[in-house]
Chain A
């Protein structure tokens, strides 16, 4: 069986030299889209995959999905078909989506790195260093805005950023369509997912990628076991950390609010930029509002242990350093006379080192990667998965 796969893929792969240039007339591949919903989802009539979670037992105030331990989820995206989700998985891992086949979505959102890339600043397919850190994609189904500065209102809108930005995947819509339409396996898979058709459309690409990303659900950490009522799920130091986390001295939970550990607001907290970098204006950019200068979307802390370095600039190498930031003084990392409207929760809590240790212990309990999707062993383009580390090595060789 394996040898058959290998042969088939080799055949397709060899036929695809130069990516968008050659068209393989015959699709001899063996790709099949999954007819079952991914983990965490129930298949429903209408071929819809619907999310199921123990958190659906609980209410939340004004149905906003913010509160404490037994608090329900905010609004979320689900209801995609299993085939569209699986198609999205192939697209997500396929470097053919970048201009030169050097990186896929999964290069900067690598499952082995909490769907981030382990770097301070993202690096694009052409080797250009970006301006911000690649955020984790865990639990994006629950988010209402995207990018650090919150400028996109949907995943579909969001992905047109990295797909086409010169410092990211550097592609363009025409080339992307030509590329995918020239790959018979994709033609067939898109028809399977969306019904028989002549050509792949951009909306279908966006739709499938969005569908896949909404299945990256992480709600089975040890913290969650504790929240659902199993008090032994956390150790004594971790519970101590939880109490520091939610106390009004550290105030972490005021913005990193359970159950998603974000309240989804924009907050100006004044973290430092990398050495030599100017102040990132953040949400002032898309809103034009100077009171939001340096404001960023509050990131979820789920799987946070896996996604160092931290903050929009990737300035902090460890959770300890990122936590310590909050106790080093209100505005300590700002330039002299810098006009910035710091959030009122940024104050001087005077946390002790051992309290920061406990906070780090607690944040470690938010790790759950149980529903990590499988990386496709072969891709319709014939390319192979390029993870964050693979990409680093390629860059070094060049």
Chain B
């Protein structure tokens, strides 16, 4: 019995106790499920019927680099290769992250409300700069920068979503010179210019964002094919702007749909920088269309904006900048379909106040127009209080003609190319690459038949006639071969593919 107790029952009791304690602990502190990395397609599929090419970004095909509090996000970005994901865990990161390569996913991991936070402490300029294409930036808290939260320079096919952007200086999210982009599910506040500023871009969706307490909420500027949808835009100086800014190299804004947004109480005192374009936006502006063409405004709730619900005007509103003969100044074909507009214009400000008082009114209108542009219409003009000055002329919109029901996205059906479309075979592509490199680089020192700085191509062909790999490896690590020529500088900055392509091309040059 003693032996039974010692060898059988005691262990059982211990095991039982253990199980009891564990169960008790688990009861009080229930376990969390294993972390699941959210997938892009799962998140996007819900949104709309056809989400365009960005529904399936190239996510996490490659290596995942994990960055933990105290480590450097930039270091991981430098090590990552196209196709890789940099996964950032909660913590405070004080850095400017720049992404000068294609196809990188920067993914924050939010744990129990703790965000990976980029904090510039009002000392750093920008949080994230990218110039590559196919970049995704997801789930970061970004605060206290001086320039931008997220700025893109020419990357195509970008996805910026699920970010908290708080007081990051001039702009919050600012893609520029990009084609095909998605900005969604971000919350932005405290920005002294536009919180979401789409500049000189094409085919952009801005949807499901919350923007408040900024000078401008969402600005579509010198951009074509933009959808601004389902955003909650409140307590900014101006809510949603579609602009042409003169003096920029891309001159037009057209094909913009502003639909299903809440544009509410945008009455924040302006804190724009002196001389900035948005300093011209009167406090209390719901939506402002400035010189942009082919804009459809539909099914928004536009209420409580103290100066005006929707303002439509030409470039003369901005009085303090140089004229640009290349910028067509008038808002043409602005289409205002059915919107809920209520309680706008209660306390007009700035230039709108002047215009309103000139019209012997003391209350701002739902819709105001300063008279320039053609082809504009309103679906049901009788619903709204309007103030049209200087002979503004609105027709009756044909709802079926301008119906946007079938438009789910402005994103392209295919990914925007990051290289000039090469409708050619791989061999032809290699030939083209070799040719551009040969003439763009090599001919600085080599001509076909004459000695220049380096030996003639003819003499190189004689040496390597069937050995392009020999040339490719020589140009990567040149060694001094001929006493009567200077040593060639290494061309290792060319990619391996490029070195091989140019070597092959060089062997084929006949002139």
Q: Which of A32-81 contact B (CB under 8 A)?
A: 36, 39-43, 51-54, 56-62, 64, 66-72
Query: In whole Å, how far is B501's beta carbon from the nearest beta carbon of chain A?
Result: 11
Q: Let me know if B495 and A266 touch, CB within 8 A.
A: no
A227–B100 Cα gap in the complex (Å)?
8
Q: Let me know if A220 and B444 touch, CB within 8 A.
A: yes
Question: Which residue of B has the minimal Cβ distance to A72?
Answer: B420
Interface residue A371 (Cβ < 8 Å from any Cβ of B): yes
Interface residue B131 (Cβ < 8 Å from any Cβ of A): yes
Residues of the A chain whose Cβ atoms lie less than 8 Å from the Cβ of B418: 58-59, 70
Q: How many A-B residue pairs have CB under 8 A?
A: 186
A72–B132 Cα gap in the complex (Å)?
14
Residues of the A chain whose Cβ atoms lie less than 8 Å from the Cβ of B321: 291, 341, 343-344
Q: Which of B167-175, B305-313, B401-409 participates in binding chain A?
A: B167-175
Q: Which of B131, B169, B450: most chain A CB closer than 10 A?
A: B131
Q: Let me know if B151 and A248 touch, CB within 8 A.
A: yes
Query: In whole Å, how far is A143's beta carbon from the nearest beta carbon of chain B?
Result: 13
Knowing A67-B177, A231-B78, A344-B275 are in contact, say whether A57-B436 is a contact too (CB < 8 A).
Answer: yes
Q: How many of chain A's residues touch chain B, expressed as a range?
A: 35 or more
Knowing A226-B100, A248-B170, A344-B276 are in contact, say whether A64-B147 is a contact too (CB < 8 A).
Answer: no
- Picked from A228, A247, A250, A347, the residue with its CB within 8 Å of the CB of B273 is A347
Interface residue A346 (Cβ < 8 Å from any Cβ of B): yes
Query: In whole Å, how far is B223's beta carbon from the nearest beta carbon of chain A?
Result: 10
Q: Let me know if B154 and A36 touch, CB within 8 A.
A: no
- Picked from A244, A247, A346, the residue with its CB within 8 Å of the CB of B275 is A346
- Picked from B125, B249, B435, the residue with its CB within 8 Å of the CB of A248 is B125
Interface residue A257 (Cβ < 8 Å from any Cβ of B): yes
Knowing A59-B417, A249-B169, A268-B322 are in contact, say whether A40-B436 is a contact too (CB < 8 A).
Answer: no
- Picked from A42, A53, A61, the residue with its CB within 8 Å of the CB of B200 is A61
Q: Let me know if B126 and A370 touch, CB within 8 A.
A: no
Interface residue A264 (Cβ < 8 Å from any Cβ of B): yes
Q: Let me know if B177 and A61 touch, CB within 8 A.
A: yes
Interface residue A243 (Cβ < 8 Å from any Cβ of B): yes
- Picked from B125, B202, B420, B439, the residue with its CB within 8 Å of the CB of A250 is B125
- Picked from A52, A231, A233, A248, the residue with its CB within 8 Å of the CB of B148 is A248
Interface residue B96 (Cβ < 8 Å from any Cβ of A): yes
Question: Which residue of A has the minimal Cβ distance to B202?
Answer: A61
Q: Let me know if A292 and B169 touch, CB within 8 A.
A: no
Q: Let me know if B435 and A42 touch, CB within 8 A.
A: yes
Q: Let me know if B511 and A219 touch, CB within 8 A.
A: no
Residues of the A chain whose Cβ atoms lie less than 8 Å from the Cβ of B100: 69, 226, 231
Question: Which residue of A has the minimal Cβ distance to B197?
Answer: A248
Q: Let me know if B125 and A347 touch, CB within 8 A.
A: no
Q: Which of A41, A59, A250: most chain B CB closer than 10 A?
A: A59
Question: Which residue of B has the minimal Cβ distance to A42?
Answer: B439
Residues of the B chain whose Cβ atoms lie less than 8 Å from the Cβ of A249: 125-126, 146-147, 169-170
Q: Let me know if B322 and A343 touch, CB within 8 A.
A: yes
Q: Let me know if A39 and B493 touch, CB within 8 A.
A: no
Knowing A246-B129, A248-B151 are in contact, say whether A265-B247 is a contact too (CB < 8 A).
Answer: yes
Instruction: Pull 18 A–B residue pairs with CB atoms less than 8 Å apart, ordered by A.
Output: A36-B511, A39-B444, A40-B440, A58-B420, A59-B417, A70-B154, A71-B177, A229-B101, A243-B125, A246-B131, A247-B125, A249-B146, A249-B147, A249-B169, A266-B324, A291-B323, A341-B321, A344-B276
**A-to-B contact residues, CB < 8 Å:** 36, 39-43, 51-54, 56-62, 64, 66-72, 219-220, 225-226, 228-233, 239, 243-244, 246-250, 253, 257-258, 263-268, 287, 289, 291-292, 295, 330, 341-344, 346-347, 370-371
Sort A-B residue pairs by CB-CB distance and give the 7 closest, nearest first.
A67-B154, A68-B154, A52-B439, A230-B493, A68-B153, A68-B131, A248-B147
Taking A70-B154, A247-B129 as known contacts, 18 extra A-B pairs with beta carbons closer than 8 A to each other, sorted by chain A number, are A36-B447, A36-B448, A40-B443, A57-B419, A58-B418, A61-B178, A61-B179, A66-B200, A67-B153, A69-B132, A220-B441, A246-B151, A247-B125, A248-B147, A249-B126, A287-B325, A291-B323, A344-B276
